[in-house]
């Protein structure tokens, strides 16, 4: 069977690309190996899908060239996607700092994309394994359900994260098979594991969540961190994981809204025990793990100024060198991907292989936590859909 466009991947970017291409009267086939479409959309945002962010710019992305995303984001941005939701009568709300979530649940976006595709004549071929992709004049896709050809091929296969939701490395393999560069891949938006030594000290804190300032390689976020039985997680840690590289250190400010040194100095005449003073800010278990008991049982009036400086440094600059990130099973995204230098930022088409397009997470554009990854999927998928 021959089509104008074949899209591999019935996820966020593939579906929006399909509906845009079909709106332009292209014949479109979407192929996916999973049983249903939009598996990641379904679980995203804890089932409520943080589908975009109203405050968006290239600075919210990590890439070899963050400016690559500028054109697609400006041509199909948050208001274009909310316009689509409005036309389908789907309700959403702003949760915090520009993050938009669905009021009812992720299934609504999946149904909307399905409807957009089916009314414009997109054909869906699910549970279909891909054996081979070549270009011989037309693109030829060999699958376990037959052979299909097209003049444009869109690779919208996402990254390596969450294999249980359909992720495979096929998009990177296709790019390489056509002689295109793929940058280094790494799990992103992912919890960290402690080194053995820290694991002994801090694993008992599992479940404790505190607001903190987290920095790594010039990036800084003030968000919650969560102690787990393996290491650290929570939004602040997921964010900083995008900026961490192997062997790197993370600096954690456990009291981002208070100067501990000034506070302790102002109480320096007090009989209050240090442990009690610090426990007013966070759980006693955490205090016990951070400080020696002889120190925490001292009254504040007995603390020397060097004690105060030491305590303050521990609270404001707790340095952790993680063993590494948890794997792709726990990573919301894959950092890295098809090198942006290989693609046109306007059309998402390969510069080397005319007719070959990429969209979504498979490209070396990774968004911060907060709806940026789905918005990139919508924007890049739409951009490709306009030119296939
Ligand atoms: C748990 C979780 C929560 C998330 N929450 C959010 C959130 O709230 N907000 C946000 O912005 N982002 C979130 N993300 C990230 C976001 O879901 C992805 O970045 C986005 O879905 C990427 O879209 P995509 O179209 O590039 O890829 P995907 O949506 O992953 O789609 C890729 C498609 O390709 C198919 N495919 C892969 N390999 C093959 C193959 N070999 N053969 C055939 N088909 C194949 C897959 O089955 C899949 O359907 C979350 C991710 C996870 C894992």
98-108 mean pLDDT: 96
- Nearest ligand 1 atom, CA 161: 53
Residue ID of nearest Cα to ligand 1 atom 8: 45
- In the reported structure, the alpha carbon of residue 10 is separated from the centroid of ligand 1 by a whole-number distance in angstroms of 9
Residue with tokens 């296939």: 388
Is the pLDDT at 281 greater than 90? The verdict is no
Confidence (pLDDT) at 82: 98
CA 291 / ligand 1 centre spacing (Å): 42
pLDDT at 280: 86
Nearest CA to ligand 1 atom 51: 332
Cα distances (angstroms) measured from residue 387 to each of 118, 303, 344:
20, 69, 11
Distance 377 CA to ligand 1 centre (A): 9
Query: Are the beta carbons of 316 and 254 closer than 8 angstroms?
Result: yes
Query: Which residue matches tokens 């709106």?
Result: 23
Which atom of ligand 1 is found nearest the CA of 33?
Answer: 43
Say how many Å lie between the CA of residue 333 and the centre of ligand 1: 8
In the block, which residue shows the tokens 């442990």?
Answer: 275
pLDDT at 96: 84
3-state SS track over 327-350: CCCCCCEEECCECHHHECCCCCEE
| Residues in CB range of 235: below 8 A, 6 or more apart | 221, 223, 224, 369
Closest atom of ligand 1 to 171 CA is 38
pLDDT at 51 over 90: yes
For the segment 254-277, the average pLDDT, to the nearest whole number, is: 90
Q: Is the pLDDT of residue 180 over 90?
A: yes
- Residue of 10, 11, 81 to test ligand 1 pocket, by largest number of atoms within 8 Å of CB: 11
Domains of the chain: 2-186+328-387 (3.50.50.60), 192-325 (2.40.30.10)
Structure tokens given for 164:
């249980």
Distance between Cα 374 and ligand 1 center (Å)? 8
What lies within 8 Å, CB to CB, of 137 at 6+ separation is none
Within 10 A of 183 (CB to CB), how many other CB atoms are there?
17
Say if residue 292 is exposed, middle or buried (CB neighbours under 10 Å; 0-12, 13-18, 19+).
Answer: exposed
Centre of ligand 1 to C-alpha 261, Å, is: 46
What distance in angstroms lies between residue 352's CA and the mean position of ligand 1's atoms? 26
The confidence band for 179, taking pLDDT boundaries of 50, 70 and 90, is very high
CB-based contact 372:56 (threshold 8 Å): yes
Beta bridge partners of 132: 142
The answer to whether the beta carbons of residues 167 and 158 sit under 8 Å apart is yes
Q: Whose CA is nearest to atom 53 of ligand 1?
A: 332
pLDDT at 279: 86
Alpha helix stretches (DSSP H) within the chain: 12-23, 39-43, 70-75, 78-87, 107-119, 170-177, 196-202, 235-241, 260-266, 274-279, 284-290, 293-296, 305-316, 372-387
Ligand 1 pocket mutation, candidates 18, 37, 40, 368, criterion most atoms within 8 A of CB: 40
Judged against a pLDDT cut of 90, whether residue 194 lies above it is answered with yes
Count CB neighbours of 103 within 10 A.
Answer: 10
Q: How far is CA 237 from CA 47, 190, 215, 221, in A?
A: 21, 7, 9, 9
Condensed to tens digits (0 to 9), the pLDDT of residues 56-102 reads: 999 999 999 999 999 999 999 999 999 999 999 999 999 988 999 99
Residue 24 pLDDT exceeds 90? yes
Report whether 373 contacts 69 (CB < 8 A): no
pLDDT tens digit string along 352-378?
999 999 999 999 999 999 999 999 999
pLDDT bucket at 235, cuts 50 / 70 / 90:
very high
- Ligand 1: residue of 8, 19, 44, 170 to mutate (most ligand atoms within 8 A of CB) is 44
- d(CA 185, CA 168) in angstroms, rounded, equals 13
Task: Using the Cα atoms of residue 209, residue 101, residue 69 and residue 113 in order, give the sign of their dihedral.
Answer: positive
Q: What is the pLDDT of residue 78?
A: 98
Q: Label residue 338 by pLDDT band (50, 70, 90).
A: very high
**Dist. CA 215 → ligand 1 center (Å):** 27
Average pLDDT value over all residues in the chain: 96
* Gap between the Cα atoms of 242 and 166, Å rounded: 22
Q: Are the beta carbons of 40 and 158 closer than 8 angstroms?
A: yes
Provide the pLDDT for residue 136.
95
**Both tokens of residue 257?**
């809204």
Reported pTM: 0.96
Q: What is the mean pLDDT of residues 26-46?
A: 96
Instruction: Show the CA angle centred on residue 171, arms to residues 364 and 374, nearest 5°.
Output: 55
> Given ligand 1 and candidates 6, 7, 9, 188, which is best to mutate, with the most ligand atoms within 8 Å of its CB?
9
Looking at ligand 1, which atom is closest to the CA of residue 372? 11
In which band, very low, low, confident or very high, does the pLDDT at 326 lie, cut at 50, 70 and 90? Answer: very high
CB-based pocket (< 6 A), ligand 1: 8-14, 32-34, 39-40, 43-45, 49-50, 130, 156-158, 161-162, 166-168, 170, 332-333, 360-362, 371-374, 377
Which bin fits 331, alpha (ψ -120 to 50), beta or left (φ > 0)? beta
Q: What is the mean pLDDT of residues 111-131?
A: 97
Find all residues with CB under 8 Å of 354, minimum gap 6, and list them.
none
Q: Please state the rounded mean pLDDT for residues 148-164.
A: 97
pLDDT for res 155: 98
Measured in Å, residue 41 CA sits from the centre of ligand 1 at 7
Ligand 1 atom nearest the C-alpha of 375 is: 11
Using a 10 angstrom Cβ sphere, with 0-12 exposed, 13-18 middle and 19 or more buried, the burial of residue 246 is exposed
């Amino acid at each position: 069977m021959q089509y104008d466009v074949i899209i591999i991947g019935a996820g966020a970017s593939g579906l929006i690309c399909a509906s845009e291409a079909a709106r332009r009267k292209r014949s479109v086939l979407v192929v996916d190996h999973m049983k249903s479409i939009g598996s990641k959309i379904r679980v995203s945002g804890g089932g409520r899908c943080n589908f975009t962010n109203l405050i968006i710019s290239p600075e919210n992305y990590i890439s070899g060239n963050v400016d690559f995303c500028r054109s697609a984001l400006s041509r199909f941005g948050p208001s274009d996607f909310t316009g689509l939701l409005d036309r389908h009568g789907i309700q959403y709300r702003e949760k915090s700092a520009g993050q938009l979530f669905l009021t009812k649940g992720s299934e609504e976006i999946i149904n909307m994309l399905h409807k957009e595709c089916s009314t414009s004549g997109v054909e869906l071929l699910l549970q279909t394994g891909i054996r081979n992709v070549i270009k011989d004049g037309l693109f030829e896709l060999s699958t376990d359900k037959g052979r299909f050809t097209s003049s444009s091929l869109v690779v919208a296969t996402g990254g390596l994260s969450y294999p249980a939701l359909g992720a495979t490395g096929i998009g990177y393999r296709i790019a390489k098979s056509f002689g295109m560069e793929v940058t280094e891949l790494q799990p992103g938006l992912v919890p960290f594991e402690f080194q053995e030594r820290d694991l002994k000290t801090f694993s008992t804190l599992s479940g404790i969540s505190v607001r903190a300032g987290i920095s790594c390689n010039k990036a800084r976020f003030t968000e919650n961190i969560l102690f787990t039985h393996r290491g650290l997680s929570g939004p602040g840690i997921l964010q900083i994981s995008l900026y961490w590289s192997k062997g790197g250190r993370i600096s954690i400010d456990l009291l981002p809204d208070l100067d501990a040194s000034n506070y302790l100095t102002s109480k320096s005449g007090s009989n209050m025990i240090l442990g009690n003073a610090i426990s007013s800010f966070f759980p006693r278990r955490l205090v016990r793990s951070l400080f020696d008991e002889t120190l925490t049982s001292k009254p504040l009036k007995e603390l020397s100024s060097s004690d105060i400086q030491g305590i303050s440094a521990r609270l404001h600059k707790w340095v952790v060198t993680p063993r590494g990130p948890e794997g792709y099973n726990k990573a919301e995204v894959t950092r890295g991907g098809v090198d942006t230098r290989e693609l046109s930022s306007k059309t998402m088409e390969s510069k080397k292989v005319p007719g070959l397009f990429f969209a979504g997470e498979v490209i070396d554009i990774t968004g911060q936590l907060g709806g940026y990854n789905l918005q990139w999927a919508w924007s890049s998928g739409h951009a490709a859909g306009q030119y296939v």
